[in-house]
Amino acid sequence: MAYLFTSESVSEGHPDKVADQISDALIDNFLAFDKDSKVACETLVTTGQVVLAGEVKSNTYLDVQKIARDTINKIGYTKGEYMFDGNSCGVLSAIHEQSDDISRGVDRASKEQQGAGDQGMMFGYATRETENFMPLALDLSHRLLIELTALRKENKDITYLRPDSKSQVTIEYSDDNVPQRIEAIVVSTQHDDFDDDEVMLAKIRKDIVELLIPRVVAKLPESIKKLFNDDIKYHINPTGKFVIGGPHGDTGLTGRKIIVDTYGGKGAHGGGAFSGKDPSKVDRSAAYATRHIAKNLVAAGVADEILVQVSYAIGVVEPMGIFVNSYGTCPFNMTDGEIAEKVKELFDMRPFAIEERLKLRAPIYSETAAYGHMGRKNETVTKTYTQPNGNSVTLDVELFTWEKLDYVDKIKNAFGL
């Protein structure tokens, strides 16, 4: 019997994502001037206020207030009427030095023997549903908000949008797990105040269905375009009004959108957040590494859908174990345990090896902090960072290295494909 599956996304203006972006902007600035920085930074945003708290071990000094304000302004919180804007909000920093009890488990005389920054389990997932090997419902949810944000910043076809928004997509699947059609789309977007609420709601619904949806569909492959039809149930701003939003409407915290950040409820999640953590924290680095493994396995033809788990103990170099679930989609006679053994041979999962393989000690994290950490475009960009004393550094950095299909040939050789 057919079944329905739903995933959601939130925009860069959602309060939790504002917090994530500030935390990751701090990570990038620390790494730009000291690539060996150890950072765990949490952010809280609420009406007119930002609170930064965390632990840092670094040889550089930053103006954390300016970094936070610049991030908020870039998102689009630039007006006093939002009750939260980058130029006037208060910024309180309670960042202090990292505990020696933690650093002693990570730092080693030989970097290759670097221990894991914490215990825990991390998951990576990939599926053939989309060209970027991501679950379809989440991919579409992200795309809706990326285009909605573009419309807001263009300020041309739609001029009333404010930064906070959410989306949700429900897909109908066949018994053999193939997407058949889109059942429902939910979009809630913050907006300027209107004189007439009914006129406002009708205007927003019309613009979403007639402007936003066609822009999203136009960029999709034909196989996904055909899932859109006239029978989709649209729920546009279903509460009827969304003027009060952002950190004024809902306090935001770092790491509170971890399912949006990963696979939209498909696969699994170990529970650890990503943003605000340097790559010595395996919550982040090993989650990227397992996504890299899963994506390359699926692309190589080992399975149509794969989940990879790795686990660590704090201060211990080698992982506790590697688990693979191919959901019965492996086309040849090999068990999941045998696939896992091959993965161990192909991928060095020591924390330092992951950092080196995926080039994680670079300022690459601001881009991850909205619209998902997985399924994104691998590309090289140039960035410039400036310290309070005026010193600046310009770097070419490679983004989303864990999305590269650079192990496909090695996997095919190892599996005899």
pLDDT along the chain (417 residues), means of 10: 95 98 98 96 98 95 96 97 96 84 56 78 97 98 98 96 98 95 98 92 97 97 95 96 95 98 96 96 97 98 98 93 97 95 97 97 98 98 96 97 98 95
pTM of the predicted structure, to 2 decimals: 0.95
pLDDT at residue 132, rounded to an integer: 97
Residue that finishes a domain, picked among 219, 245, 271: 245
pLDDT at residue 1, rounded to an integer: 77
CA distance 43 to 54: 9
Q: Closest Cα partner for 217 from 209, 368, 407? A: 209
In terms of domains, do 149 and 198 share one? yes
In terms of domains, do 200 and 305 share one? no
Which residues are known binding-site members?
Answer: 14, 16, 42, 55, 98, 164-166, 241-242, 250, 256-257, 273, 277, 281
Which residues are known binding-site members for L-methionine?
Answer: 55, 98, 250, 281
In terms of domains, do 210 and 313 share one? no
In terms of domains, do 241 and 285 share one? no
How many residues are present in the chain?
A: 417
241 is a domain residue: yes
Which residues are known binding-site members for K(+)?
Answer: 42
In terms of domains, do 219 and 318 share one? no
In terms of domains, do 144 and 237 share one? yes
In terms of domains, do 302 and 226 share one? no
141 is a domain residue: yes
In terms of domains, do 175 and 292 share one? no
Q: Closest Cα partner for 261 from 76, 112, 402, 87? A: 402
**Number of domains, the chain:** 2
Bridge-based pairing state of the strands 233-236 and 392-399: unpaired
113 is a domain residue: no
In terms of domains, do 352 and 285 share one? yes
Residue that finishes a domain, picked among 245, 268, 296: 245
Which residues are known binding-site members for Mg(2+)?
Answer: 16
Angle, helix 64-75 to helix 15-33, in steps of 10 degrees: 130
DSSP state of 403: G
- Mention every residue, 6+ apart, whose C-beta is less than 8 A from residue 271: 120, 258
373-374-377 Cα angle (round to 5): 95
310 neighbors 283 (Cβ within 8 angstroms) = no
51 is a domain residue: no
Residue that finishes a domain, picked among 220, 245, 270: 245
In terms of domains, do 314 and 406 share one? yes
78 neighbors 85 (Cβ within 8 angstroms) = yes
What sign results for the dihedral spanned by CA atoms 22, 26, 28, 32? positive
Q: Closest Cα partner for 155 from 196, 114, 109, 191? A: 191
26 is a domain residue: no
372 neighbors 259 (Cβ within 8 angstroms) = no
* CATH number, domain with residue 393: 3.30.300.10
Q: Closest Cα partner for 287 from 314, 318, 310? A: 310
346 is a domain residue: yes
Range of the domain at 410: 120-127+281-415
82 is a domain residue: no
268 is a domain residue: no
Structure tokens at 55: 């632990």
Which residues are known binding-site members for ATP?
Answer: 14, 164-166, 241-242, 250, 256-257, 273, 277
CA distance 230 to 86: 41
In terms of domains, do 231 and 293 share one? no
SS3 397: strand
In terms of domains, do 239 and 317 share one? no
